[in-house]
């Protein structure tokens, strides 16, 4: 089946790994025999300013890990100010794309704006909502809400990456929303070797190590993490991967709290896998989430996860069984969970083993692709009938 993926985010050699989960899904769908093409819609990039350099570098298209990505541009104003008008703006652009790729199914990632510009163009459309596009943006103003409602009503299939996201979407429109969990790359994260990873990172075998991977921003709970570690008698070494607007403040807070940390910035998946393998546990104390791929990857790595009860996280982690959960912002409980996971290694190992078994069954890109394969087949059969 020819599938056209429409997205605003996809990895490139100029930006690193944002949107890597879409790449992994595309690769898994291709492995099932689908002919998948990628159309990435980005803002017009003025010929000056470092902010726009990454978009200028994309040109009219590029290739990343064997996937060719066609790039088209449209006027996108900061602050979502013209999202509800993008459908009209992109009419010609999308018509040309459909003529070029002749898809049987269009799969748009994010409700707004890839979803809103893809629906009702004469092709069966699947929309996947990943997080903020489902639980936040449609409520920021009336124009965005109307656009989101129209998009959901026009889509043939709507998917949320968690039950939490599905419920948020159903607050907009009372319709069926499928739930398909995100995944992790079992080939990259499935067989961690702690000894080799620690040798590669020059970490002593007897050092307690905690890993974090995600955007370095307040919403990811990074300052809760600092305060929770500060309260421990013997804080672990923190391996932090990611970048964001609060990176410098995070670094300063760690130094002020005398917490030993290594901040790697934006890194490859293989580096994330190495850090997870070297760690005794992985944490993501977020305030907001859809269904974080980081947690899927940590569970596949057979590492206990300490996270928060936000978004779809409680749908894949049962606290005390396949991970450890605290309420968002509960620093005292977060600190206690960190202390417990390092104090009781036997319990932590049992949690990690159960987490890995669950992840291998439910949280791989192969499982994700099989779920979409069924949706595509159902949709194609419905259209044929």
* Residue 251 predicted with pLDDT over 60: yes
Residue 206 sits in the same domain as residue 171: no
What's the per-residue H, E or C state across 200-229? HHCCCCCCCEEEEECCCCHHHCHHHHHHHH
Does residue 106 lie in a domain region? Answer: yes
Residue 305 sits in the same domain as residue 203: yes
Does residue 233 lie in a domain region? Answer: yes
Residue 83 sits in the same domain as residue 163: yes
Does residue 385 lie in a domain region? Answer: no
* Percent of the chain predicted with pLDDT > 70: 99
* Residue 53 predicted with pLDDT over 90: no
Does residue 35 lie in a domain region? Answer: yes
Question: Model confidence over 135-149: pLDDT tens digits?
Answer: 999 999 999 999 999
Residue 160 sits in the same domain as residue 63: yes
Contact residues for 286 (Cβ-Cβ < 8 A; gap 6+): 214, 219, 220, 221, 292, 307, 308, 310, 311, 313, 328
For position 368, what pLDDT does the model report?
97
Question: Model confidence over 112-140: pLDDT tens digits?
Answer: 999 999 999 999 999 999 999 999 999 99
Does residue 292 lie in a domain region? Answer: yes
Residue 371 sits in the same domain as residue 279: no
Residue 39 sits in the same domain as residue 101: yes
Does residue 12 lie in a domain region? Answer: yes
Enclosing domain of residue 304: 186-362
Contact residues for 199 (Cβ-Cβ < 8 A; gap 6+): none
For position 322, what pLDDT does the model report?
97
Query: CATH number for the domain including 158?
Result: 3.40.50.2000
Question: Model confidence over 161-212: pLDDT tens digits?
Answer: 999 999 999 999 999 999 999 999 999 998 789 999 999 999 999 999 999 9
Residue 280 sits in the same domain as residue 151: no
Residue 336 sits in the same domain as residue 373: no
For position 293, what pLDDT does the model report?
94
Residue 223 sits in the same domain as residue 250: yes
Residue 281 sits in the same domain as residue 342: yes
Does residue 36 lie in a domain region? Answer: yes
For position 79, what pLDDT does the model report?
86
For position 296, what pLDDT does the model report?
97
Residue 231 sits in the same domain as residue 179: no
Domain count for the chain: 2
For position 48, what pLDDT does the model report?
74
Residue 46 sits in the same domain as residue 110: yes
pLDDT band of 15, cuts 50, 70, 90: confident
**With left for phi above 0 and alpha for psi between -120 and 50, is residue 92 left, alpha or beta?**
alpha
Does residue 266 lie in a domain region? Answer: yes
């Amino acid at each position: 089946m020819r599938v056209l993926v429409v997205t605003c985010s996809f990895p490139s050699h100029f930006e690193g790994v944002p949107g890597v989960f879409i790449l992994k899904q595309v690769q898994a769908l291709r492995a099932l025999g689908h002919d998948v093409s990628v159309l990435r819609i980005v803002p017009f990039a003025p010929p000056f300013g470092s902010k726009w350099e990454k978009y200028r570098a994309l040109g009219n298209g590029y290739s990343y890990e064997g996937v060719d990505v066609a790039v088209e541009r449209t006027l996108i104003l900061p602050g979502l100010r013209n999202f509800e008008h993008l459908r009209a703006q992109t009419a010609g652009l999308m018509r040309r794309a459909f003529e070029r790729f002749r898809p049987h199914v269009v799969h748009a990632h994010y409700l707004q704006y890839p979803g809103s510009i893809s629906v009702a163009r004469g092709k069966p459309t699947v929309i996947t909502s990943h997080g903020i596009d489902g639980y936040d943006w449609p409520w920021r103003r009336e124009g965005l809400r109307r656009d989101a409602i129209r998009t959901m009503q026009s889509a043939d299939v709507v998917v949320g990456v968690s039950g939490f996201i599905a419920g948020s979407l159903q607050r907009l429109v009372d319709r069926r929303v499928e739930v398909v969990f995100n995944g992790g790359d079992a080939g990259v994260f499935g067989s961690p070797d702690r000894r080799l990873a620690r040798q590669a990172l020059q970490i002593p075998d007897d050092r307690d190590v905690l890993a974090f991977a995600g955007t370095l921003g307040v919403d990811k709970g990074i300052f809760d993490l600092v305060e929770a570690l500060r309260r421990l008698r013997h804080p672990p070494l923190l391996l932090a991967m990611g970048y964001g607007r609060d990176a410098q403040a995070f670094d300063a807070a760690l130094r002020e709290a005398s917490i030993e940390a290594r901040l790697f910035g934006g890194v490859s998946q293989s580096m994330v896998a190495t850090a997870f393998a070297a760690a005794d546990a992985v944490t993501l104390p977020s305030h907001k989430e859809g269904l974080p791929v980081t947690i899927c990857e940590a569970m596949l790595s057979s590492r206990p996860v300490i996270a928060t009860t936000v978004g779809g996280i409680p749908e894949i982690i049962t606290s005390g069984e396949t991970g450890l959960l605290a309420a968002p912002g509960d620093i005292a409980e977060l600190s206690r969970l960190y202390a417990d996971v390092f104090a009781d290694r036997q319990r932590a190992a049992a949690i990690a083993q159960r987490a890995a078994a669950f992840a291998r069954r439910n949280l791989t890109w192969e499982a994700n692709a099989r779920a979409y394969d069924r949706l595509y087949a159902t949709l194609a059969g419905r259209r044929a009938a």
